[in-house]
Amino acid sequence: MVQDAEMAKAALVQAKYTDELMKKPHVVGVGLGLAQKGGQPTNEVAVIVMVDEKVAAEQLSPEDVIPAQLDGVRVDVQPMGTFVAQ
């Protein structure tokens, strides 16, 4: 199954880059899943970077911009809002 192999590769990429991604502004989590387009899931496996809000790349320093892919795996930035403990 192609998607299983893609998910396994994405899991390795996630493990490699999570600490680095979590240090970037607005990032609240990193996971695996399907990329979204227009708020709807696609069939493309991606490392999902969860942010409290999306910020234009021009408003970030170059080192704080989240790349579109890491080691050949798509990175999808998804806004989650702010998490609050209940």
5-29 pLDDT per residue, tens: 899 999 999 999 999 999 999 999 9
Greater confidence (83 vs 2) lies with 83
Q: Determine contact, residues 75/68, Cβ cutoff 8 Å.
A: yes
**Cα 75 from Cα 48, distance rounded (Å):** 6
Check residue 67 and report its DSSP letter: P
At residue 24, the pLDDT reads: 96
Backbone φ and ψ of 36, nearest 5°: -115, 150
**36 or 86, greater pLDDT:** 36
Residues 52 and 26 sit within 8 Å (Cβ to Cβ): yes
pTM of the entire predicted model = 0.89
Furthest-apart CA pair in the chain: how many Å? 40
